Amino acid sequence: MKRMLLAFSVLVASAVSAQAQTFYHYECKDGGTFEVGFYPETKAAFLQFDGKSLDLPKRFSLTSQRFSKNGTTFAMKKNGAATIKRAGKTSVECQVK
C-alpha cells in the first residue's frame, strides 16, 4: 500500500511540474533565433542562443514582461512580439514562431 501511494505521489508531482513549463521559439529580424522557457516558480526567463544558456530574472516594467541580467534584456510584448538586447549590441525585434 505504501509503495502504491509513493508511486502515485511521484506521478502526480511529475505531471504538475511538466504542465508548469512554457517554451517558445523566437525568430529575429537580424536572422537570429533563440528559445525561451518559463518556469512559474522561478519568476525568470531561461534563454538559449548562440550555444549559451542564460537565466534572466523578471524586472519591473509597465509596457511588457521584462527580464534582465548582466547586460542582456528580453522583453515580451503583445501578440508574440519581443525584443532582445545583448551587451554591446543593438536591440533586435523578434517574433514567436
Angle at 27 (CA atoms; ends 83, 95), nearest 5 degrees:
55
Report the distance separating Cα 95 and Cα 77, nearest Å: 10
Give the CATH architecture of domain 21-96. Beta Barrel (2.40)
Amino acid identity at 3: R
Segment 51-71, tens digit of pLDDT: 899 999 999 988 889 999 999
Segment 18-58, tens digit of pLDDT: 555 799 999 999 999 999 999 878 889 999 988 899 999 99
C-alpha cell, 57: 530574472
pTM for this structure? 0.73
